[in-house]
């Protein structure tokens, strides 16, 4: 006779995989962690069936840390007077792309705070220059909430993908993490607009943020099921010392990894990064993420002199390395766990 616990477990995971849905009770059981290993194996199986052992790389260019917003968790919030602000100009950004291209990157991610210096006109010119110089590359934007017309203009200019984490799909929780001037309604509308325009879209949330519960995570997962994004970015919340949430506890590697596996079962084809925050909370966090269903890593291509200044959270890794060192290190880490980095655009399958 097989163990009752084992049988129960198989049926939960089977059910989640078959229905591509999860109940609050099932979520709660999986977050308990007892079935972590079986869940992990199933997520890896699903991931390998679709993407094999390939790991896609995205070159992250953190081009401005100016931000007009004041999110309670984020180190580049406008009220933080203790960080040195910077912007990389167009020539500097193109130089990052050229170095990235040489190193094998075929996707660039322009990420920044909501910086009004970068008007739509400047952004469209920048997007045009990148796509003209690197026509076989995908360009991803991660520059926050804009109106529909702006999103359309960037898309016309050549942007392919857009990352905008929803942060939490629960209204009260959203208000606990953001000042009143920001709303979940607007966030969701932005994501819908992006999808309607034709971008490959990424949503996501922090794991273990203050006020998060099984209920709010359940809502996050239901929101992801409805939106059907091409990418989902999740990473542990890590307190930043100059923010209102400085004294809160960080999210854990285990819980992040469990959620990566669950997301892989709910959205089998999703592009799922093992994030820098996961590598920060645990020295082998990114490897653990890849071994739980993640299939993307996003090394930093920003110039070394600005890296420490893009301080969303404390103790961020990879701030001292050159891009080439970072990718060499990551390549070795990925190969050590039996996967391999591929140098193509890595589009959604």
Chain residues binding ligand 5AD by CB under 6 A are 73-74, 165, 167, 206, 235, 237-238, 240, 277, 312-313
Site residues for ligand FES, 259-318, by CB under 6 A, read: 299, 318
**326 lies in the site for ligand FES, by CB under 6 A:** yes
Give, for 324, the enclosing helix (H) or strand (E): helix 323-336
Judged by beta carbon, residue 124 or residue 329, the one nearer ligand FES is 329
Query: For ligand FES, how many residues bind (rule: CB under 6 A)?
Result: 6
Cβ 1 to ligand 5AD, closest distance in Å?
A: 45
List, in order, residues 6 or more apart from 186 with CB less than 8 Å away.
Answer: 145
Q: Which is nearer to ligand FES, 96 or 318 (CB)?
A: 318
Q: Which listed option, ligand 5AD, ligand FES, none, makes contact with residue 277 (CB within 5 to 8 Å by class)?
A: ligand 5AD
The residue of the chain with the least Cβ separation from ligand 5AD equals 313
Q: Which of 246, 191, 226, 218 is nearest to 77 (CA)?
A: 246
Q: Cβ 329 to ligand FES, closest distance in Å?
A: 3
Do 211 and 188 form a contact (C-beta atoms < 8 A)? Answer: no
Six-digit token string for 14: 């089977």
Nearest-CB residue to ligand FES?
A: 329
Contacts 24+ apart (CB under 8 A), 81-86: 82/242, 83/242, 83/309, 83/311, 84/309, 85/309, 86/306, 86/309
CB of 314 or CB of 322, closer to ligand FES: 322
Sheet holding 231-236, edge to edge: 59-64, 107-112, 138-142, 161-163, 200-207, 231-236
* Shorter beta-carbon distance to ligand 5AD: residue 74 or 323: 74
Contacts of residue 90, Cβ cutoff 8 Å, sequence gap at least 6: 122, 125, 126, 129
Q: Which does 206 bind (CB under 5 to 8 A by kind): ligand 5AD, ligand FES, none?
A: ligand 5AD
Q: Which residues sit at the interface with ligand FES, rule CB under 6 A?
A: 299, 318, 321, 326, 329-330
């Amino acid at each position: 006779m097989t163990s009752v616990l084992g049988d129960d477990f198989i049926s939960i995971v089977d059910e989640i995989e078959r229905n591509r849905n999860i109940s609050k009770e099932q979520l709660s059981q999986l977050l308990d962690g007892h079935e972590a290993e079986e869940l992990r194996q199933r997520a890896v199986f699903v991931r390998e069936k679709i993407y094999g052992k390939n790991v896609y790389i995205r070159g992250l260019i953190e081009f401005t840390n100016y931000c007009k917003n004041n999110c309670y968790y984020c180190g580049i919030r406008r009220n933080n007077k203790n960080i040195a602000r910077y912007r990389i100009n167009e020539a500097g950004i193109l130089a990052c792309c050229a170095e990235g291209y040489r190193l094998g990157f075929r996707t660039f991610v322009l990420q920044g705070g909501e910086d009004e210096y970068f008007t739509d006109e400047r952004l469209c010119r920048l997007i045009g220059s990148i796509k003209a110089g690197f026509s076989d590359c995908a360009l991803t934007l991660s520059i926050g909430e804009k109106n529909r017309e702006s999103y359309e203009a960037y898309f016309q200019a050549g942007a392919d993908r857009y990352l905008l984490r929803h942060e939490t799909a629960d209204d009260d929780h959203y208000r606990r993490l953001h000042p009143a001037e920001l709303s979940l309604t607007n966030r969701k509308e932005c994501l819908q607009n992006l999808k309607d325009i034709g971008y490959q879209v990424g949503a996501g949330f922090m794991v273990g943020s203050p006020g998060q519960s099984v209920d709010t995570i359940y809502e996050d997962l239901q929101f992801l099921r409805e939106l059907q994004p091409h990418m989902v970015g999740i990473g542990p919340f890590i307190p930043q010392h100059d923010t209102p949430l400085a004294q809160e506890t960080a999210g854990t590697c285990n819980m992040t990894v469990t959620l990566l596996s669950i997301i892989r079962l709910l959205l089998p084809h999703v592009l799922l990064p093992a994030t820098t925050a996961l590598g920060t909370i645990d020295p082998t966090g990114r490897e653990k993420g890849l071994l739980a269903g993640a299939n993307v890593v996003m090394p930093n291509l920003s110039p070394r002199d600005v890296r420490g200044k893009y301080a969303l959270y404390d103790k961020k890794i990879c701030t001292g390395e050159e891009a080439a060192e970072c990718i060499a290190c990551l390549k070795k880490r990925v190969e050590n766990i039996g996967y391999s980095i591929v140098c193509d655009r890595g589009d959604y399958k």
